[in-house]
Amino acid sequence: MAVGGFSKLPSGTVVVALALPHPADPAERIRVVVHAQNRQRALTRLSNLGFRGTRLTGNTEPPTPDEITAVLHHPDGLIWRAYHAKLSDPWHPISTLDRT
């Protein structure tokens, strides 16, 4: 189970934001934001990247307007940064996440 939430966009798509353990250091948390056709597809995308068993229950930490803008402007529609990052810290493409 992951802490997070979602926002449904006027186009019918959703943006899902989750706090997950960092793959290389489970003690560290990251914030992952995904743009997809629906919540299940967003979770499937994360599962395909190795974040197995990720579930979204509730909507306690929905994506902020800045997170929605950032993910909509990214070509992959999947970004991350440290959970406690400053608002001015950049978002990173998921391909840059160290999974070792």
Q: Is the pLDDT of residue 81 over 70?
A: yes
Q: Is the pLDDT of residue 46 over 60?
A: yes
pLDDT value for 16: 95
CA pair distance 16, 34, nearest whole angstrom? 5
Q: Is the pLDDT of residue 95 over 60?
A: yes
Looking at residues 55-84, what average pLDDT do you find?
Answer: 91
CA pair distance 20, 1, nearest whole angstrom? 9
Looking at residues 67-85, what average pLDDT do you find?
Answer: 93
pTM: 0.90
Q: Token digits for 50? A: 């190795």
**Percent of the chain residues topping a pLDDT of 70:** 96
pLDDT value for 99: 62
Looking at residues 15-39, what average pLDDT do you find?
Answer: 92
Q: Is the pLDDT of residue 100 over 70?
A: no
DSSP 42: H
